[in-house]
Structure 1
């Protein structure tokens, strides 16, 4: 491309400021989304691909859960010679600091000594096969070491974890984002989980199915082929299988586990393959819409570039040279907007990380191979964006252009089709974003059958001697209405008890509470006439219907020859996610002297919630000698439970807004182009007496018809997509017809507004100017 051609292109851009602004802004903002979402999708699809032995590592699971009892790992290794090694893991927050001293919270990953031999997490100091062998050994991450020990070498230093002394034996690189293993501050020798559960029994008993285990297959063997044999043995050895709660067992390849496991029942990080596919589809749609918009904008300026092309043709320039020149211009525009989009991506990275709960680290993503891919990407989209306008503009007849009659020869059917496609995408996205936002709000605000307003929950770190006096202490605080002790709450979780009665499997959640608990959560009891004692249960209506207790004595079989009287029936309330129906619940008295897990405080209506909560926490800290404890409002727990849906709503809404903006710009460009095609027709109509209103109706009718066609196609697409998405919720909104209508009207109004300015300008133009060249 010659310097003179560059100067002509620069002059064209400076004279057509609106075209330049819309092209640069539209393309660069679109590419910002493409870069951020594209790298996120790449990162998610490459989870755990960096492990050297990844092809031989399997996660053991049943159904969509990874929970097993600790002895199961040894059992599998003993029965399967194909197993070279195994690593059990358990992720949990812990408290650091000496008893009575300052405490901080940290994230710990408990793992077997084989952890660093199986996985390829990089050790900076220490032998992978030895660092976790000593009891109470700890491998700290680089960032944690820098935070806690500054410039000192932490090897050999001590960490007080949950009031137990551990020794640092190694330093590792931080756990990266692209792995299913949770980011932890340090890795702890697995046997230290006994300090959390209060005894060695947690390692020896298989009845607590709460632990995750990976198996390393010996080279040349086939561990998954042993699944059937192990399943038959499990049915004889382990209660969860013996009692028929599952008939499933599988070994999932490491790289597949991230997308096959349900996070609700796992201690590893997981994601939805469907959601990643949606994001990938969004990336493609954004790119396609941005390209269509750029093509339409460029074609809309064909009149200006056509005269330039005609002059060059008359001076002997070939069509091939013209096409090459226009493609180079497209490459320059695409390169500039890509660089601008990359700059904006860096600016938006923190917000994007928060929105998708990820960490992109854009600066470290651009490896030589990815830079090469980026260059090919820019080259490819510049060709796609520039080829159609180049072919059209270079194909103009120079004689007709000089005469001013070229507009009659240029057909715009393909451009109309592209605009209709943009309308379809925009209407479908608008409908989906409305419904996703409605479902998100519905989940957060749904009446779950218990009170959650002003309810503050704290972990109990007091002994039984302190508890009675502490309740009086709390009730003396202004704004505190009620105080309760319990093991579990409807929002924060409870114990699970599973059993079989007459061949039927039951899985109960159990709360152990005092009498004030019912008042705080406003749970209604229908008495059966049985006096409540430590040996009776209250059950929810769903459990009562399932158990069919004797109607006279209200005696029910709770399995394992445990017959208990039912003292009352409580109203059904949602103690699970609203993605699932209400389950079976039983509630028992908290016996005097038994330690509760939770301290629950009801703050009076009208009191300042956060100031009162601060007073409660200060009082608690003074009373317990500064011991660390967790605290939260029940309403916040419920809100956080649906964070995924809220973030999905936000990302879809942001994409919808971007699509609408691009659509308006595209429609504006199209209106400019089509109105130029109709200049002669408008002039003739005005000469024959047509009014401005009639001209406006004629021009706007095209937009109305295109939106109507798009609406007919977009509605079933959006309906199908939302119906499938809502299948994942037990409680969900209705797909109301008015949302479809509103989305169509919004797009129609925006379309007409973007067209009307050009239409009005054309309707008021002097008809003589339109037909003087004829």
Structure 2
């Protein structure tokens, strides 16, 4: 730190320069961190699901959705469907609530086939995953929902009433981790057996042979490795036309299996599963890159504008025996210190504005929870690269000149006439 005393003195004497640079770089990096977090999350949706590459969703040209009984009939007809599951989100975002001791608490409910936990490979924090959804009046809560309903008390075994079913009590049979960056919507708080659909929408019920609602349930199938799920697509289409009114009345003309990993960015709607606009992801990705480049060029241009103020110090160091190489690495070190400070500020700012960013981007972000060894390594590499990009121009300018140029004034004139103009042209082009 002693070797950086003159650098801190320089920053202290140029307070406005320091403030503008720190704020500018910090705020720019804040946007970059938020956008990067959003992009990475969207590109890794479903990473929590076992064998997601072998799971497909029954789709047509309009929806990746169908009816529970369609899945049942297809499973009976096609033995290559190794395992299948059904999820229904009609109780989700519909104002559902739980009643405990006459106290109503909002609860986002997701109706699923009883093999849901095994099919997706989810484990429970408490409870037996093989038995958790077998009983029609069982319920599995997410960790945050269990805390919301029962505080710090163990939730397993507790009883509650659900708003759509006015008669029966439901028993908490398990607690699962919150859904995070999954194909299952993040806001889902409770999983109940598919029987609960009877109270939400009879048209989607598995007990309704008329199958009135052909878009309320997602049918998911795991096919064995090596099996082409669409090999019998033509036969499946013909079969659907024999009993599904949607195909009988030509509302749907296609039937195929969409890979679950493609559902998130698909243009075909999937009301039961998480989706996001891929165009929005690419727009924000490009915007983040441009913001980062503009921040770097802004920092570089301001440093070049101020470089003549450091020229006398570096000229003195050269005359006292310092080499051009030592000056170069010293300035890069100062750049790394400044960039690290701006990055830490950006990290704090990003966390502070995270709730607002979630609303604007319409997705969940979590800067802190996404920190891991790989993320920290990427951040470290990013800081190093940013320090090099931001510091190399001032470092080259101040280390590769003759000290007498400072006395003559030619260094200052050349800096303003050539380097600053070139940087301004690049900045203007970026803008």
Give the structure-1-normalised TM-score: 0.51
Cross-structure match for 1:191: 195
Is the 2:140–2:176 Cα contact (8 Å) retained in structure 1?
no
SS, match of residue 135 in structure 2: coil
Deviations 1:650-697 (A, max 9, x none): xxxxxxxxxxxxxxxxxxxxxxxxxxxxxxxxxxxxxxxxxxxxxxxx
In the TM superposition, residue 178 of structure 1 has moved relative to its aligned partner by 0.5
Cross-structure match for 1:180: 183
Q: Distance in 1 between matches of 2:112 and 2:328?
A: 62
Cross-structure match for 1:33: 31
Is the 2:136–2:193 Cα contact (8 Å) retained in structure 1?
yes
In the TM superposition, residue 337 of structure 1 has moved relative to its aligned partner by 0.7
Is the 1:202–1:208 Cα contact (8 Å) retained in structure 2?
no
Cross-structure match for 2:257: 251
Cross-structure match for 1:3: 2
Aligned residue-pair number: 422
Query: Is it true that 1:349 corresponds to 2:354 in the alignment?
Result: yes
Q: Distance in 2 between matches of 1:125 and 1:269?
A: 26
Cross-structure match for 1:144: 145
Query: Is it true that 1:223 corresponds to 2:235 in the alignment?
Result: no
In the TM superposition, residue 8 of structure 1 has moved relative to its aligned partner by 1.5
Cross-structure match for 2:112: 111
In the TM superposition, residue 111 of structure 1 has moved relative to its aligned partner by 0.1
Deviations 1:317-366 (A, max 9, x none): 22211111111010000011111111222222222233333332332221
Deviations 1:388-437 (A, max 9, x none): 221122122222212222234447556445434443554xxxxxxxxxxx
Is the 1:141–1:173 Cα contact (8 Å) retained in structure 2?
yes
Query: Is it true that 1:122 corresponds to 2:123 in the alignment?
Result: yes
Is the 1:61–1:252 Cα contact (8 Å) retained in structure 2?
yes
Cross-structure match for 1:133: 134
Match among 72, 75, 91 for residue 74 of structure 1: 72
In the TM superposition, residue 175 of structure 1 has moved relative to its aligned partner by 3.1
Q: Distance in 1 between matches of 2:74 and 2:429?
A: 54
Q: Distance in 1 between matches of 2:330 and 2:208?
A: 73
Q: Larger Rg: 1 or 2?
A: 1
Is the 2:132–2:174 Cα contact (8 Å) retained in structure 1?
no
Q: Distance in 2 between matches of 1:126 and 1:316?
A: 72
Cross-structure match for 2:247: 241
Q: Which runs of 5+ in 1 are unaligned?
A: 427-774
Q: Distance in 2 between matches of 1:64 and 1:279?
A: 27
Within a 5 Å distance, the mapping from 1:307-706 to structure 2 comes to 307-410=312-415, 415-426=420-431
Is the 1:159–1:165 Cα contact (8 Å) retained in structure 2?
no
CA RMSD of aligned residues (A): 2.5
SS, match of residue 125 in structure 1: coil
SS, match of residue 259 in structure 1: coil
In the TM superposition, residue 107 of structure 1 has moved relative to its aligned partner by 1.4
Is the 1:46–1:178 Cα contact (8 Å) retained in structure 2?
yes
Cross-structure match for 1:20: 18
Cross-structure match for 1:458: none
1:196/1:164 CA distance change after superposition, 3 Å: farther
Query: Is it true that 1:268 corresponds to 2:273 in the alignment?
Result: yes
Is 168-177 or 28-37 further displaced after alignment?
Answer: 168-177
Match among 157, 167, 174 for residue 171 of structure 1: 174
1:315/1:414 CA distance change after superposition, 3 Å: closer
Instruction: State the structure with bigger RCO (CA 8 A, min sep 6), 1 or 2.
Output: 2
Cross-structure match for 1:624: none
